[in-house]
Structure 1
Amino acid sequence: MRPIVLAGLALATATLLAGCSGSSSSDGRSLVSGGAAKAAPARAADAAGERANPAGGGAAKAPDVADAQSKIVKADISVSVQHADEVAARADQAGVIARRYGGDVYAEQRSGGAHAAATVTIKVRPADTTAALDDLAGLGKELDRHMSTEDVTQQVADVDSRVRSAQLAIDQLNALYSRASKVSDMIVIDNELAQRQSDLEALLAQQRALAHQTALATIDLSLSTAAATPAAAHHARTGFLGGLQRGWDAFTSAAGGLATGFGAALPFLVVLALLGAGGVYGYRRTRHPAPPQPAAE
């Protein structure tokens, strides 16, 4: 039984390696059956020959690639809203736009106040990305937008092929395990199965991630409050009234500056005045000492 086990392990490993390199998987004729031990290597050679030359001649056939391309589409757009109290309503409308194109809101962050802002991440059908961006631009004044597309068709095909090969290798090992009669053979096959199951789970995780990224396009929307419009300058007056107004403005500006300077210097002036008064008092006492008192009789 051990030659069959070893041959089966070799077949499972060869099948998995063939899948990792992107070649087509075996059609199942290399699966170990209940025949004699010498038949397993022959079947493996036949299967390898069919993979190398499926039509009886010529080079090996490359795996079929799906006609539809797999792409990861990402975009971002910045929109300015006139009033701060409108930001929340515009963020809610972004969710309506996402659902209109087969998607939904996946992340959101808002801040209030005079400079309210919001960041909304939505997902839509990839074919509707441009239409969704145009609708989002209508929420206010568009500031900028960017869109990128990454073609992952080959990566998706490679992962799919590796998943199929890993599943076939596990099926082969399960068949060997059911026919094993020795404990040592069962332990070897069980360890190999555990490793193959771990590899398959990692590949399935990659497959799900790629499917999720290619199924919907990601759009990041940034909403911000428009800067306040400066007030229009007053029409400059001319003549006597214009001169009087400009003179009054200059006077009030100068008076304000003087008042500000005096207020800043006042604490220092008070301290200097106190020090000066103390100095004058001390000087007078030393210059004019008190007259001596007459001696008592």
Structure 2
Amino acid sequence: MTTMGAGMDGRVGQRRVALLAALGMTAALALAGCGSSDSGQDGAKGTAAEAPAIGNGSQGLSDADKGSGAKAAEAAGAGAPDLRVDQRAIIYTGTMRVQVDDVDAAAREVTAAVTRAGGFIGGDQRRSAEADAVAELELRVPAAKFAGVVEEVANLGRQQSREINTQDVTEETVDLDARITSQRARVDSARRLLARASSITDLVSLENELGRREADLASLEAKKRRLADLTALSTITVSLAGPAAKTDDEEDETGFLVGLRNGWKAFVVSLTVLLTVLGALLPWMVALGVPLALLLLVLRRQRRKAPALVATPAAPVSAPPPVPAARSGP
């Protein structure tokens, strides 16, 4: 009995072990099947996600832009420039007026100074006269030579006014760099999607989108070039005035003496104009007046030599006397 009970207990234990092993293998196979199905579903999802990216142009572009925008943001953050004082982007502009004895000679000296500094003349306007001549010059010089050129121009004569302005565009430059990087990534993503387009509709839509993005990129790059030009070359507007030239901010004066002075100037100007006109007419008066005077003199002499003709008046005819009437009766 004891031997039979022990044999039965051994068989039950073996069955339990076999049952547990079968359950373990079943669970392992179930987990493996779930993993393979999940991976298959993930692959199907990836394929399905790529298909609408080409079929739906706008949705695909927006999804691609998220990745490209994130990469551009990381690149912009990693490559942030050094914003120390000597590394900042600053635009220098200046306006000054200098009174000189000879405007043309001073303008030549200014041109030579700008050329030595590595710049050029951006504009040249002059009003020629003897004492009140004025020359307006626009100078473009490197930012590092800005202060030196200003002082050199001021030493050409008597400085009447000076105004120096600065504009810090560092933040705008950094923002433009980040936007250009992001826009280039968006253009690249649009080009990749265009290369994978499978229908005419998608092709036309993606071409239009690519054209808009390239136009935006060109506009941003043009703004960046403009800022780079303004920060690299400073602008100085120089006015060279003669000894008698009036300043721009000269106030209008009133009073008797001012009116008398202005009236005298007007009289002198009018007299100058009258003498100018008389000088212009004098050759014609000489050329025509002398022959005419000689002709009149000759005619007068001939008139004096001719005999005078005296006209005698005719005698008046008298009427016959009246006849008296006859008288009748005694």
| TM bucket, shorter chain | 0.5 to 0.7
Does the aligned pair in 1 maintain the 2:96–2:160 contact within 8 Å? yes
How far residue 166 of structure 1 moved from its aligned partner, in angstroms, is 1.0
- The structure whose Rg is larger is 2
Deviations 1:185-243 (A, max 9, x none): 21221111011011111111111111111111100110001239xxxxxxxxxxxxxxx
Aligned to 1:39: none
Q: Per-residue displacement from partner, 1:144-186 (whole Å, max 9, x unpaired)?
A: 2111110000001111111111111111111111111122221
Output the amino acid matched with 1:179: R
Contact 1:81-1:139 within 8 A present in 2 as well = yes
Q: Which of residues 80, 87, 91 in structure 2 aligns to 1:64?
A: 80
TM-score w.r.t. length of structure 2: 0.53
Determine the C-alpha separation between the residues in 2 that align with 1:11 and 1:166: 15
Query: Under a length normalisation based on structure 1, what TM-score does the superposition of the two structures give?
Result: 0.59
Residue 200, structure 1, aligned to residue 217, structure 2 = yes
Say yes or no: does 1:104 pair with 2:123. Answer: no
Aligned to 2:197: 180
What root-mean-square deviation, in Å, do the aligned CA atoms of Structure 1 and Structure 2 show?
Answer: 2.7
> Residue in 1 aligned with 2:151?
134
CA shift in 2, pair 1:99/1:11, >3 Å: farther
Matches within 5 A, 1:41-52: none
Q: Does 1:145 align with 2:162?
A: yes
**In 2, Cα distance between the equivalents of 1:223 and 1:14?**
57
1:10 and 2:27 matched: no
Structure 1 pair 74/15, CA: closer, same or farther in 2 (3 Å)? Answer: farther
Structure 1 residues 126, 192: closer, same or farther in 2, change over 3 A? same
Question: How far does residue 3 in structure 1 lie from its aligned partner after superposition?
Answer: 0.9
Does 2:219 align with 1:211?
no
Gapped runs of 5+ residues in structure 2? 1-49, 246-330
Instruction: Give the Cα–Cα distance (whole angstroms) in 2 for the partners of residues 197 and 136 of structure 1.
Output: 45
Equivalent-residue separation in structure 2 for 1:61 and 1:71 (angstroms) = 22
1:25 paired to 2:69: no
Conserved? CA contact 2:100–2:241, under 8 Å: yes
* Shift in Å, 1:2: 4.5
Q: How many residues matched?
A: 191
The question of 1:117 aligning with 2:153 is answered no
Q: Is the 8 A contact 1:126 1:217 kept in 2?
A: yes
Give 1:125 shift.
1.5
2:127 corresponds to 1:75:
no
Secondary structure of the residue aligned to 2:94 is: strand
Q: Secondary structure at the match of 1:25?
A: helix
Structure 1 residues not aligned, in runs of 5+: 27-50, 55-59, 229-297
Change in Cα spacing, 1:192 to 1:140, as seen in structure 2 (3 Å) is same
The 3-state SS of whatever aligns with 1:181 is coil
Residue 62 of structure 1 deviates from its aligned partner by 7.7
- The answer as to whether partners of 2:91 and 2:234 remain within 8 angstroms in 1 is yes
